[in-house]
Amino acid sequence: MSSFSFPDIDFSLPPGQRLRLLREAAGLSNKEMSRRSGVSSTTITNAEKGRLALRVPTAVKLASVMGISPGLLLIGNGISNKGDPAERLRNVRYMLGVT
């Protein structure tokens, strides 16, 4: 887990802007975040620019690098209101590490 000072998180910001704010607060470049998380730098860039909504598995990988809850990246993403209820349940279980 990283140890950094959280900025004040403005949950009215789009999720991508929060991702960038938190990544920068953790002192991570896009390239370093990509290397540590296994998520492509293109995906990170597209998420930060709002071109791509983060899926739960990707948010979990990015959040784990920063030592934060994936929920900080997913709030406002519409994740809880989209898709099949069974898929939403699988996503929540995945986030919690429950199989």
pLDDT, one tens digit per residue, over 1-52 is 444 555 567 777 888 998 998 899 889 999 999 999 999 999 999 999 999 9
pLDDT at 82 over 60: no
CA distance 48 to 23: 10
Coil, helix or strand for 4? Answer: coil
Specify the DSSP class assigned to residue 81: G
Higher pLDDT, 47 or 96: 47
Contact 16, 78 (CB under 8 A): no
pLDDT reported for residue 25: 86
pTM over 0.85: no
- Distance (Å, rounded) from C-alpha 83 to C-alpha 63? 22
Residue 47: Cβ within 10 Å count: 25
User: How many H-runs (helices) and E-runs (strands) does the chain carry?
Assistant: 6, 0
**Predicted pLDDT at 7:** 58
